[in-house]
Structure 1
Amino acid sequence: MYKTREVKVGPYILGSGHPVRVQSMCNTDTRNVQATAAQINLLEDAGCEINRVAVPDMQAAQAIGEIKKRIHSPLVADIHFDYKLALEAIKQGVDKVRINPGNIGAVENTKEVVKAAKDAGVAIRIGVNAGSVKYLKSVQGKMDLSDEKWAEVMVNEALEQANILEQLNFKDVVVSLKSDNFKRTVLANELFAKQSDIPLHIGLTEAGSFLSGTVKSAVALGTLLQKGIGATIRVSLTEDPRMQVRTAYEILKALGLREYGPNLISCPTCGRTQVDVTGTVHALEERIYSDKALLQKATGLKIAVMGCVVNGPGEARDADFGIAGGKGEGLYFEHGQTMFKLPQEKWVDFLIQKIKDWKK
């Protein structure tokens, strides 16, 4: 287990054994206050705890104040090249800025950002992505390094950037080291964690489409989280940002690090199945995850929807609420007790009502 310093972002303390927080990033135009705030509200309903927005120009930076009035979660401003955007974002009440000291010009620019951040209690995240490290410029795009060497290059750049802030006596720093390559990402984060007590925001960059990106992210982030590496997590998918949030929670839930929604057990179905397990599970998930109050009620419950009598009764009996399917119906179990038979067409509404009535 790696011990890190504590960094405050909004109401959350990151690092040093505190819960791993789930983060996402808006894909709206930040200058469009209404659209951006609306998307953040949806992300908050999905459980997103920290949200990030791109700040490409001064108009976007100036929109942050109005966006903050309409949301409840901490906001991160993603800034490159222009330190004045960071100063304006801090002035507008942002909770953290993502900025690399090395790409905003003179040291005096960094000093101004650090002073403003200190005065406002705003954290700074340094982000190193494999696709934009300084090494690429020096070799004109030749990327024939081993994964181990890539990790070393990324970590050296992150430490170099962090050292600029350390020399200015600024400690409220978070670092991210990301690649679209599983091995490089894991190696870089492990190497950094051995050399620094700065908390890490972990994720793969450009992870991909829903299925491939989820698998790749689960393997990489699961590897790091099991070793105690990671203060915040983002799953980068070419997908609705709410699915990024849900996927992040499912990874944390599978590792026993956070609770989020029910533990829904269902069989893959086979030739013995005489009920619609797939449709039932999809309908249940849609109802649960689209209703914030219901999602909170369902969190921590184990629910089983099984298709036949081979494994069905055992799995259903082991759940809080479980159904083992037969021919067009199923045997309902509650907390290990066999209850009664239930027609398949009533399964979804029945289980939803059970969740609503459940008293923890």
Structure 2
Amino acid sequence: MSSLRAYRQIVRRPSRKIYVGPVAVGGDAPISVQTMTNTLTTDVDGTLDQIRRSAAAGADIVRVSCPDEDSTKALKDIVAGSPVPIVADIHFHYRRAIEAAEAGAACLRINPGNIGSEDRVREVIKAAKDYGCSMRIGVNAGSLERDLLEQYGEPCPDAMVESARRHMRILEDNDFTNFKISVKASDVFLAVAAYQALADACDYPLHLGITEAGGLRGGTVKSSVGLGMLLWSGIGDTIRVSLSADPVEEVRVGYEILKSLDLRHRGVRVVSCPSCARQGFDVVKTVATLEERLAHIEEPISLSVIGCIVNGPGEARETDVGLTGGGGGSHMVYLAGNQDHKIGTEAMVDHLVALVEKKAAVLAAERAAARAAADEPK
């Protein structure tokens, strides 16, 4: 193993494996990407539109809030029309959890301590077992139990982990271990410290998130810092980037975080320069256009777009397709790290899109052939 490869290797924390529908979470499963709809759940068509767009962007799992009975009634149609497993977000009323399980939810997001007596918790657990649901214990710094706040004086990692332990014990005492856990906070330091402590305290899969992170730009930065620290240290089995934005953007940011750490490989990874007076074409405009036009690509492909020859050839050697700006409106195109041909500015974007799409088609065919070979009887 080269020194660079060894330096980049992330050893994930060992954890149990559970399933959210057909999606494995924990164990040796890939780190899954989640988002949550922000439509009214009773708006079935609008909610399904968000779910389908999120799934097309790569969402493995989508969460839907179920605050009332009308929402759980609508959930049945949403589950039936969804291309990905649905997590029902439940707070306070245990009946909503039972109704969501009956409606086909793949997972119930609850805090066992806030849905009532032990008898009610047992009813929810029975429904989860009867309908094959997993659960997520969702601890949040903004809604910790009053006695824990009095004991610790403020939200802190110890209080959050103690809250998680309480909820874990409730499920374990009722012979239910098919769950994952989150300990979210809007403060990056608090969230990271709580997850680190929880990772040492149990072997259940962990759902990562910096809750209420903010808008698209600020929330992306906060989530990247917090989730990046945890993922780099091997902690985390599924993630949700919480943004005050379109859920599709949460999915895109989630994948960019995972791709930057070499943990998931989906879509085009663009390497581009910030541009300067040396640029041979408008790098900023070109990259924005390429990102939009290549958003449909699912195969893992790397593309470098560099405005001049200072760093362009070096970056191109490491990418599947590369472009380096040259003088007189003539730019060098690299394929598999090698100089291949030149292209003019006007035809440049269409040409790069075509090259990436061609590469994606080859990779998709290879993947299909490998899958078919694996399915052949031995």
Instruction: Judge conservation of contact 1:117–1:123 (CA < 8 Å) in 2.
Output: yes
TM-score, normalisation: structure 1: 0.93
The answer to whether structure 1 residue 204 and structure 2 residue 210 are counterparts is yes
Instruction: Judge conservation of contact 2:138–2:183 (CA < 8 Å) in 1.
Output: yes
The answer to whether structure 1 residue 100 and structure 2 residue 111 are counterparts is yes
TM-score, normalisation: structure 2: 0.89
What is the Cα deviation at residue 112 of structure 1? 0.4
Instruction: Work out the CA distance in 2 between the residues paired with 1:162 and 1:313.
Output: 53
Specify the alignment match of 1:323 in structure 2. Answer: 323
The answer to whether structure 1 residue 219 and structure 2 residue 220 are counterparts is no
Letter in 2 for 1:21: S
Instruction: Work out the CA distance in 2 between the residues paired with 1:312 and 1:23.
Output: 35
What is the Cα deviation at residue 338 of structure 1? 1.9
What percent identity do the matched residue pairs reach? 43
Specify the alignment match of 1:341 in structure 2. Answer: 342
**Paired residue secondary structure (1:265):** strand
Instruction: Work out the CA distance in 1 between the residues paired with 2:108 and 2:52.
Output: 20
The answer to whether structure 1 residue 109 and structure 2 residue 109 are counterparts is no
Q: Which stretch has the larger CA shift, 196-205 or 319-328?
A: 319-328
The answer to whether structure 1 residue 312 and structure 2 residue 312 are counterparts is yes
2:58 to 32, 47, 66: 47
Residue deviations 1:186-233 (CA, integer Å, cap 9, x gap) = 111111111111111000001112222112111111111122211110
Specify the alignment match of 2:88 in structure 1. Answer: 77
Specify the alignment match of 2:372 in structure 1. Answer: none
Specify the alignment match of 2:99 in structure 1. Answer: 88
- Unmatched 5+ stretches in structure 2: 1-11, 364-378
Pairs within 5 Å for 1:279-290? 279-289=285-295
Instruction: Judge conservation of contact 1:68–1:93 (CA < 8 Å) in 2.
Output: yes
What is the Cα deviation at residue 138 of structure 1? 5.1
Pairs within 5 Å for 1:10-29? 10-29=21-40
Residues 136 and 207 (structure 1 numbering): CA distance in 2 closer, same or farther, change over 3 Å? farther
What is the Cα deviation at residue 62 of structure 1? 0.9
Letter in 1 for 2:31: V
Moved over 3 A (4+): 135-139, 142-145
Instruction: Work out the CA distance in 1 between the residues paired with 2:233 and 2:312.
Output: 35
Residues 162 and 137 (structure 1 numbering): CA distance in 2 closer, same or farther, change over 3 Å? closer
2:261 to 252, 255, 262: 255
Letter in 2 for 1:115: K
Letter in 1 for 2:268: P
Instruction: Judge conservation of contact 2:141–2:185 (CA < 8 Å) in 1.
Output: yes
Instruction: Work out the CA distance in 2 between the residues paired with 1:347 and 1:59.
Output: 52
Instruction: Work out the CA distance in 2 between the residues paired with 1:5 and 1:274.
Output: 52
**Paired residue secondary structure (2:294):** helix
Residues 157 and 118 (structure 1 numbering): CA distance in 2 closer, same or farther, change over 3 Å? same
Residue deviations 1:9-58 (CA, integer Å, cap 9, x gap) = 11022112211110000000001111111110111100001000111100
Q: Which stretch has the larger CA shift, 167-176 or 299-308?
A: 299-308
Instruction: Work out the CA distance in 1 between the residues paired with 2:50 and 2:300.
Output: 27
Specify the alignment match of 1:168 in structure 2. Answer: 174
Instruction: Work out the CA distance in 2 between the residues paired with 1:282 and 1:135.
Output: 48
- Unmatched 5+ stretches in structure 1: none
Residue deviations 1:153-199 (CA, integer Å, cap 9, x gap) = 00001110111111000111111100011111111111111111111
The answer to whether structure 1 residue 273 and structure 2 residue 279 are counterparts is yes
**Paired residue secondary structure (1:102):** helix
Instruction: Work out the CA distance in 2 between the residues paired with 1:159 and 1:104.
Output: 16
Specify the alignment match of 2:370 in structure 1. Answer: none
The answer to whether structure 1 residue 120 and structure 2 residue 121 are counterparts is no
Instruction: Work out the CA distance in 1 between the residues paired with 2:101 and 2:78.
Output: 13
Instruction: Work out the CA distance in 1 between the residues paired with 2:96 and 2:113.
Output: 15
CA RMSD of aligned residues (A): 1.7
**Paired residue secondary structure (2:245):** coil
